Chains A and B, each alone.
Chain A
Amino acid sequence: MFSFFRAFVGLSLALGTAAAAAAPPMVTDAWIRATPPGAVTAAAYLTITAGGAADRLVGAATPAAATVEIHTTASVAGSQHMMRIAELTLPAGEAVRLEPGGRHLMLIDLKAPMVPGTKVALSLLFAEGGTVEIDVPVVDARAQAAASH
């Protein structure tokens, strides 16, 4: 997997892109947690890998919610604090994971519940790599859902 990734990056660098100053980071394993009825917030998880040079995730947006914030979760004196961060640093070639119980994108003021099986358009804005548009699947992570698959 890693060698494939390296080959991919190598190929991208070799081909070069005349238009963009830097290649956009690679986004994988993206999913949004399906929401309970009445929810107005949701969390999106993904893995971002900056290519040849370091980059920063500086913003995100979706038509499905009024706002998207980058959040991190820190344990302060035994209490879980979910905090907004202005940007997420992406070291070159390093997979930065946004996972349950830690960093995530918080979708605020949902226009509709996140329904499993559907996809949500998400734009990620990078300081160097420009904008990356992805369609993120909504996943029901409950045990019952896993059992019925």
Chain B
Amino acid sequence: MKTRTATVAAGVAALALGLGTWLVRDALRSATPEIDGYVLAAPRDLPAVELVDEHAEAFRPHDFVGHWSFLYFGYTYCPDVCPLTLVELAKVKLELAADGFAEPSTFYFVSVDPARDTPARLREYVAYFDQELRGLTGSAAALAALAQATDTVFGVPDDATGDNYLVSHSSNVVLLDPNGRVHAVFAPPHDPSRLAGDFAKIVERYDRQR
């Protein structure tokens, strides 16, 4: 049984290596799309962190697999740039639907302020912007690891007590591909039409390479 598992694992590894080589070769043939932000030269795996979603359920990186994911990092006490970006992302979603875009995609708001943003708080917050918008948060360590892998920076003040403190955070939108890997980063300010167009370019290239 053990030998058989090892054989299967070796087979999978060989297959992955072969696929990887093929993808790299193909990537060299296919130019990286010019977007407002950047497409990673090679998609990057997420660390195996455990997050929590807006229903207080555990959420792991493999839950990002099977669809394109848009991640925006912020906090619910943010009065300006977070609501602004979530409104723009809801418009991206409408735009993709209007364009008849068939690729499944999910939008996530990742709170970097877990002390104040409980799952219950996240749930009412995300639903306000879009019924399908998901909310995620996690421990400081999990968020730091996720942020690092997604080229995101954020800062919660050390003396953050009570309810009135400000949190700094990137205003990028991070795109994960259906393998759950970091694929591209969109830079602010986010224009819904441009972002939807950039996304379409990325998906077209991704599908061509498959």
Question: Does A30 sit at the interface, judged by CB under 8 A?
Answer: no
Whether A64 sits at the interface, judged by CB under 8 Å, is no
Q: Is B169 in contact with chain A by the CB < 8 A criterion?
A: yes
The answer to whether A41 touches B168, judged by C-beta atoms less than 8 angstroms apart, is: no
Q: Whole-angstrom distance from the CB of B169 to the nearest CB of chain A? A: 6
Q: Is the CB of B188 within 8 A of A82?
A: no
Known: A73-B80, A104-B79, A106-B80. A80 touches B124 (CB 8 A): no
For residue B207, CB closer than 8 A to chain A, the reply is no
Indicate whether A39 reaches chain B with its CB closer than 8 angstroms.
Answer: yes
Distance, CA A35 to CA B124, complexed state (A): 11
Closest chain-A Cβ to B171's Cβ sits at a distance in Å of 4
**Chain A 66-101 per-residue mask, 1 if CB under 8 angstroms from chain B, else 0:** 000001010111111111100000000000000011
Per-residue CB contact flags for chain B residues 100-140 toward chain A (1 = under 8 Å, else 0) read: 00000000000000000000010011001100000000000
Judge whether B80 and A104 touch: CB under 8 Å: yes
A13 at the interface (CB under 8 A from B): no
Q: Once the chains bind, are A79 and B154 in contact (CB under 8 Å)? A: yes
* Contact indicator per residue, chain A 91-119, by CB within 8 Å of chain B (1) or not (0): 00000000011001011110000000000
Q: Please measure, in the bound complex, the distance between the C-alpha atom of A106 and the C-alpha atom of B77, giving whole angstroms.
A: 11
Chain A, interface residues (CB within 8 Å), range: 20 to 34
Classify chain B: how many residues form its interface, as a range.
Answer: 20 to 34
Question: Complex formed: what's the CA distance from A10 to B50 in Å?
Answer: 64
Residues of chain B contacted by A84 (CB below 8 angstroms): 166
Of B121, B129, B154, B166, the contact of A38 (CB 8 Å cutoff)? B121
CB distance from A38 to the nearest CB of B (A): 5
Bound together, the chains give a CA A71 to CA B78 distance in angstroms of 12
**Which of B24-32, B57-65, B87-95, B198-206 lies at the interface with chain A?**
B87-95
A72 to chain B, nearest CB (A): 10
Q: Would you give the shortest CB distance from B152 to chain A, in whole angstroms?
A: 8
Neighbouring B residues of A108 by C-beta, 8 Å: 164
A101-B129 in contact given A78-B153, A79-B170 (Cβ < 8 Å): no
Interchain CB contact under 8 A, B129 and A36 = yes
B91 contacts A143, C-beta separation under 8 Å: yes
In the complex, whether A43 has a CB less than 8 A from a CB of chain B is: yes
Contacts of A42 in B (CB 8 A): 79
> Nearest Cβ in chain B — how far from A16, in angstroms?
39
Is B168 within 8 A of A82, CB to CB? yes
Is there contact, CB below 8 Å, between A80 and B169? Answer: yes
In the complex, 17 of the A-B residue pairs with CB atoms within 8 angstroms, ordered by the A residue number, are A37-B124, A37-B125, A38-B124, A40-B77, A73-B81, A75-B171, A76-B168, A77-B153, A79-B153, A79-B170, A80-B81, A82-B78, A101-B81, A142-B87, A142-B90, A143-B87, A143-B90
Q: Can you name 13 extra interface pairs (CB under 8 A) apart from A79-B153, A80-B81? A: A36-B125, A36-B129, A37-B124, A37-B128, A38-B76, A39-B77, A40-B77, A43-B79, A75-B171, A82-B80, A83-B166, A100-B84, A106-B79
Chain B residues within CB distance 8 Å of chain A: 76-81, 83-84, 87, 90-91, 94, 121, 124-125, 128-129, 151, 153-155, 163-164, 166, 168-172, 188-189
